[in-house]
Amino acid sequence: MFPERRMRRARSRNIQPLLREISLTKHDLIAPLFVDESLTAPHPISAMPGQSRFPVNGIADEAERLWRRGIHAVLLFGIPKTKDPEGSCAFDPEGVVQQAVRKIKERVPEIVVITDVCACEYTSHGHCGIIGEARCGTDLLNDRSLELMNKIALSHAESGADIVAPSSMLDGVVGSIRSALDRSGFVEVMIMAYSTKFCSALYGPFREAADSGFSFGDRSTYQIDPANRREAFLESRLDMDEGADILMVKPAGFYLDILSEVATLGLPVAAYQVSGEYSMIKAAAGRGWLKERATVLESLISIKRAGAEMIITYFASDVAGWLDEEL
């Protein structure tokens, strides 16, 4: 008798929803937000159609709009008015992110506020910490930059951030921030570690969005080589051992194998669908080459299937609307 195992029995339209293994909900999504200290009105980001930078005074409105759509977590990036080699505006209590966190928390106290802890938007050279003479010429100084990261994380916690997300890829940054937070009594502030952040071309549009392009070199001496799976897993394990509460894999779509491996560590896993992943879909959809909604939903369900509990995505607000329509 052929065939005995008829897989198509499971694919009739009314049975399919019953058998679906993975689903996507609004609770899975985190919306990145760019706050620009120099703006008085939202400013569109040309490389990311549909995304804008917001002024400090408009950020609470945007957070409230997301909240009402059912997006209950945001990830903040700041663009300061001035930059210097030490990135000192990054830990200013009156800095752009610090003000934004307070404004958001005042308006929507229950929204989960996550802050990106890094220096590249605040340094004049655009690198993720302090630069100096290192083994192979001018480079990011690891241990000297840790103190800067501690100060940034503390200032975010003091402003009311629920979760800090160190993205610099410095060695020891998770442990360093954990003890700084604990020493100051912020034992409840969580750490979402950008634990496997690859040195990816997909961050291109973000550098326009966050004005974080670098003036020399690249980030390959601190971000992971896309060819290295074992190294990525080890990075995540080290971040877990240093006290990370959530592990992040970034970018998401090209790195699903890494995602599924990192998920075996046992900590909650976040995936960051980065600017380039967003812009690729937008560009193709804009030309009528791909159906945007179907492509986006497929990309997100694949990221969840690979093992992510939560997804940072610039599509968060749109997806919330689409999920409402499906009910």
274 near ligand PBG, judged by CB under 6 A: yes
CA dihedral over 205, 287, 320, 65, signed as positive or negative: positive
Instruction: From the list Zn ion, ligand PBG, none, pick the one residue 274 interacts with, judged by a Cβ distance below 5 to 8 Å according to partner type.
Output: ligand PBG
Asked if residue 109 lies in contact with residue 159, where contact means CB atoms within 8 angstroms, the answer is no
Residue 250: active-site member: yes
The residue range among 62-70, 101-109, 114-122, 154-162 that interacts with ligand PBG, by the rule CB under 6 A, is 114-122
63's tokens: 């957070």
Structure tokens at 34: 């760019």
Q: How far is the CB of 191 from ligand PBG (least distance, A)?
A: 15
DSSP 3-state of 14: coil
Interior angle at CA 96, CA 251 and CA 84, nearest 5: 85
**Marked catalytic residue, from 103, 151, 250, 282:** 250
66 forms part of the interface with Zn ion (CB under 5 A): no
Does 120 bind ligand PBG (CB under 6 A)? Our answer is: yes
- Strand pairing category for 137-140 and 131-134: antiparallel
The question of whether 83 is a catalytic residue gets the answer no
288 Cβ contact partners less than 8 Å away, ≥ 6 residues apart: none
Count of residues that bind ligand PBG according to CB under 6 A: 11
The SS3 assignment for 36 reads strand
Give the span between the Cα atoms of 259 and 309, in whole angstroms.
11
- Out of 142, 145, 167, 313, the only residue in the binding site for ligand PBG (CB under 6 A) is 167
Indicate whether 128 belongs to the interface with Zn ion (CB under 5 A): yes
Residue 203, contacted partner among ligand PBG, Zn ion, none, CB below 5-8 A by kind: ligand PBG
Q: Based on the shown chain and the rule CB under 6 A, indicate whether residue 275 belongs to the binding site for ligand PBG.
A: yes
What is the smallest separation between the CB atom of 167 and Zn ion, expressed in angstroms? 5
49: tokens are 């159609």
Binding of Zn ion by 120 (CB under 5 A): yes
CA–CA separation, 316 and 216 (whole Å): 33
Could you give the 3-state DSSP secondary structure of residue 327? Answer: coil
Min CB(204)–ligand PBG separation in Å = 7
Contact of residue 219 among ligand PBG, Zn ion, none (CB under 5-8 Å per partner type)? ligand PBG
Mark 208-227 with x for binding to ligand PBG (rule: CB under 6 A) and - for no binding.
----x------x--------
d(CA 67, CA 111): 7
Binding stretches for ligand PBG (CB under 6 A) = 116, 118, 120, 128, 167, 203, 206, 212, 219, 274-275
